[in-house]
Every structure is written in C-alpha cells, then in structure tokens.
Amino acid sequence: MPQRSDIEEVCVAEKRIFDGRILSVRCDDVRTPSGHLAIREVVEHKAAVGMIAVTSRKTVLLVRQYRYAVHEETLEVCAGLIEKGEDPAQAAEREMQEELNVRAGKLFRIGEFYASPGFCTEMFTLFLAEDLTEASLPQDDDENVSVVEVAFADIPKMIREGRIRDSKTFAALSWLMAKEGIAPER
C-alpha cells in the first residue's frame, strides 16, 4: 500500500535497544502528521511462514509446544522463520518436514499478514498444504513439538473454548472454516 504523507509518521531519531538472533528492538522518536512528537517502540522480527496442513480425512495437523513467553503449551499451525536464501515456499516445505514429518504435494499461498503491526515488523506468509506424504527432517535443537490431528468439525468448539490462543493459528483456522463452509460455534 502506498504511503500517504497526510497520515505517515516521520522518524526524527532512532535508538537501537537490542539486536538478537531473530529480532531486534528499537525506540523511535517520530513526528506525527499533526506535528506532535511521539515515541514508537518497534520489534524488528524476521519474516515467517505458517501452513494449514490438511489431510485427506478432513483433519488439520497442528503442533503442540510449550511457549516460554506465555508459560503455557499451545496448539498452533506448523510455522517457522524464513532462513536466509529461502523463499517462503521453501521455508514452508522445510518446516513441515521438521515439525509435522510430512511434505505437501500441493502448496498454495493464501496470503501475507503482519503478526502484530502495532509494534512488530514480522510479515507472515500463510499456505494451505494438501496431498501430504511422509517426509522428515530433524527438529531444531531448541524445539520440542508433537503433532496433533484435529477434525475440521472440532475447530469451532476449540476456538470458542479458548484452546486456540495463538493469533496466526486463529487466523489460519478461521480461514479454513470459511473455505470449508464450517459455521462458527455460538
């Protein structure tokens, strides 16, 4: 989307706070269109991919993993960072083999979205993966994920009951429900 000067904030000073392996943090002083000065805290995060891995049994493969930041185990679509030199489709194929032990015969790019644009630059590319066959790569050393197979029909209840709390997974499964004509549970 093109920038508009009547809504764009202009950085007048930038302070780097932290540079890490997958993210960096900066604090910017910006001038708003009305001329006021404001502070914007920005997390610069590497781009990532996520896959809705659909089986021929009308189920979706999710990963269960402990997330230290929120101190709980979550159910999520298979996802991961795009490594240097990879395009999003290559990253999707690699991540599915590492986390789900499958390869997609058909991989469709659904779209891109920001994970949380109020403070984070992370761009997320979402794929639909179909015609799954067994194929595996070793999990990353710092990951401990297990595969959970969920029936399409169970997704609305899981969302309503708060068992899906990860935003990318909430968005991905909501997209799948719309595609499959599955009504949300009230």
Same domain? 24 vs 62:
no
Same domain? 65 vs 157:
yes
Same domain? 41 vs 120:
no
186 inside domain: no
Question: pTM value?
Answer: 0.90
Per-residue pLDDT of the chain (186 residues; tens, 9 = 90+): 555 667 899 999 999 999 999 999 999 999 999 999 999 999 999 999 999 999 999 999 999 999 999 999 999 999 999 999 999 999 999 999 999 999 999 999 999 999 999 999 999 999 999 999 999 887 777 778 999 999 999 999 999 999 999 999 999 999 999 999 998 877
Instruction: Specify whether the CB–CB gap between 125 and 48 falls below 8 A.
Output: yes
- pLDDT tens, 47-90? 999 999 999 999 999 999 999 999 999 999 999 999 999 999 99
185 inside domain: no
1 inside domain: no
Same domain? 31 vs 54:
no
Parent domain of 107 = 48-180
Same domain? 28 vs 76:
no
